[in-house]
Amino acid sequence: MANAREVKQRIKSVKNISQVTRALQAVSASKVRKAIDQLEDTRPYSVKAWQVLQHIAKQPDRSTLHPMLVKHSSVKRIIAIVISGDRGLAGAYNSNLIRTVETWSKSITVPVKYITVGKRGRDLLLRRGKDIMAEFSNLPAEPSYNDISPVGRIAVDTFLGDEVDEVYLVYTQFVNRMNHQPVVKKLLPLETDVDERVKVFNEIESLTGGYIFEPDQTSILEEIIPRFTILQVFHAVIESLASEHSARMVAMKNATDNATALADALQLEYNKARQQAITNEMLDIVGGAEAISE
Amino acid sequence: MPIRCEIVSQDRLVFEGEADIVIVPGSLGEMGIMPGHAPLLSTLELGVIRVKSGELEDVFTVTGGFIEVQPDIVTIMADAAENVEDIDVKRAEEAMERASQLLKKDLSVDPDTYLRIEAALKRSTLRLKIAAQYRKRGQRSRPPGMGTSE
C-alpha cells in the first residue's frame, strides 16, 4: 500500500486538475450559449438562402444560368473545406470530424486538396499527409460574415477559374447540446439534393417553373449565387462553433466528475494508509512494552 | 387563398405570416405580389415593405436585399429590415444628425467612406419618414411586439 504522504500528494494534484476542468466547463457553458444564440439568429437567413439556391438549381435551363451551376464533365480535382476547432480538450469533437474526412476521402478516387479552418484540423490532416492548399486559424470567438467570407471566396474563385471540379464542405452540424453530427455536403457545383434543414422547416415543395428575373438574369445571379454559397460556409462555421463549445462543455463536465470520483477514492486510500500507520505504531509500542515487562 | 410571407434579415427572422398582398420596393419599381404569382427573383432597393392581410397591414423598412417569389410563398431576404412599430425614432434622429454632420464637415473623405455615410443618412431619413407617416395615421395593426422575433 502506498504511504500516506504520496497519496496525499496525488489527492492534491487531482483536485487541482478538477478545478481547471471546472473552470473550463464554466467558460464553455457561457460560450455555448452565445454560439447557440448566434446560430439561431443567423439560421433563418442561411436556410432561406440555401432554398433559393436549390430553386435556382432546379431551373429547367440551369446550366446556361451561371457557371457555378455547371457540372464538369469529368471530375479530376476536388477541394474539401474542413471546419474544425482551434483548440483541443473538446472530447471527440475534432477526431470525429477527421474520421469523417478519412472515410469520405476513401470513397474518392481522385486527389483531394484541403482548405482547413481551425488549427486542430490542419494539424491532424497534415499528420495524415493530406495536401493542404490553404488554412485559416485563430478566428474570432463570434465570427462575422466578413471574417469567414475569404474561405468561401477561395472555393468560389478556384471553381470559377476552372481549377477544380467539385467543392465539398465538411463540418459539424449542431443538433442539440448533446448531439452534433459531422457531415459532408457538396457545395459546388450547386445541385438539388434534399437538405435536412429544409424538411425541418416543413416547407411545401412548390413547383418551380422558369423564374422571372429582375433587373435581369445575369446581374442578379451574379450577385446571389456566389454570395449565398459563401454564406453556406459561414453558416457551417457557426454550426461547428456551437458544436465545438458544447462538445468541450460535455468533455469538461465528464473530466470534472471523474476527478471528483478519483479524489474520493484516493481519500479513502489515504485514510486507510493513515490508520494502518497508527496501528503499526501501536503494535510497536505494545510489543516494546511487553518485551520490557518480561 | 392567402400567400405566405417570410421576411428574414441577416441576423434574425423579422416576420412570418399570411398575406393577401405583399408590396415591395423592387429594383425596377414597386411590386405587389399576390397569391399565385409566377416565380420571380429580384433585388430590392431601400424602401418600404407592406404586408396586407384583410384589414391589417404590417409595414417594414428595408435597406436592400433580395426577394424570391413562389406561387404560394414570398421570401424576402433583407440586408436589414425593421417593423415600423419597432423603429427607435430617437436613435434614428441621432444617426441622421451624425451622418449629416460628417458629410458637412469633411467632403474630402475617400469615396467608400462617403458612400457609407450617405447610405447611413438615407437609411435614417427613411426610417424617420416612415415612422412619422405610418404612426401618425394611427394605423397600429397589432399590439407592439407581436409578429417580430424577441
Domains of chain A with bracketed CATH = 22-250 (3.40.1380.10)
Q: How confident is the model over B40-66, as pLDDT tens digits? A: 899 998 889 999 988 888 889 898 899
Does A215 sit behind a cis peptide bond, omega within 30 degrees of 0 on the bond before it?
Answer: yes
How far apart CA A185 and CA A123 sit, in angstroms, is 22
A212/B40 Cβ within 8 A = yes
Q: Is A263 helix (H, G, I), strand (E, B) or coil?
A: helix
How far apart CA A122 and CA A99 sit, in angstroms, is 13
B9/A215 Cβ within 8 A = no
How near does any CA of chain A get to the CA of B138, in Å?
31
Cell 400567400 sits on residue: B3
Q: Which residues of A touch B (CB under 8 A)?
A: 41-42, 44-45, 48-49, 51-52, 55-56, 145, 203-204, 206-215, 220, 223-224
How far apart CA A42 and CA A154 sit, in angstroms, is 22
How near does any CA of chain B get to the CA of A220, in Å?
7
Give the closest of B11, B26, B77 to A48, CB-based.
B77
**pLDDT for A206:** 43
State the average pLDDT for chain B. Answer: 82
CA A33 to chain centre: 16
Where in chain B are the domains?
Answer: 3-84, 87-136
Are B72 and B52 spatial neighbours (Cβ–Cβ below 8 Å)? no
Q: A198-230 as b/e, with b when 16 or more CB fall inside 10 Å?
A: beeeeeeeeebeebebbeeeeebbeebbbebbb
Angle at A224 between CA A150 and CA A142, to 5 degrees: 40
Interface confidence (ipTM) of the complex = 0.75
- Name residue A181's beta-bridge partners: A173
A211/B39 Cβ within 8 A = yes
In chain B, residues 22-51 whose CB comes closer than 8 Å to chain A:
26-28, 38-43
Distances, alpha carbon B140 to alpha carbons B89, B115, B134, B148, in Å: 16, 34, 8, 14
How far apart CA A246 and CA A31 sit, in angstroms, is 8
- Nearest Cα to A50, choosing from B75, B12, B64? B75
| AA identity, residue B107 | L
Cell 417553373 sits on residue: A209
Which percentage of chain B shows pLDDT scores above 70? 87
| AA identity, residue A133 | M
**pLDDT for A199:** 43
Number of Cβ within a 10 Å radius of residue B23? 19
State the average pLDDT for chain A. Answer: 86
Q: Which CATH class is domain B3-84?
A: mainly beta
Give the residues of chain A that fall short of pLDDT 50. Answer: 195-208
Strand-pair category, A179-188 with A166-176: antiparallel
Which CATH code of 3.30.160, 1.20.5, 1.10.1060, 1.20.1440 fits the domain covering B87-136?
A: 1.20.5
- Residues of B with CB below 8 A from A209's CB? 38-39
A213/B39 Cβ within 8 A = no
| C-alpha gyration radius of chain A | 28
For the residues B73-90, what does the mean pLDDT come to? 85
How near does any CA of chain B get to the CA of A45, in Å?
6
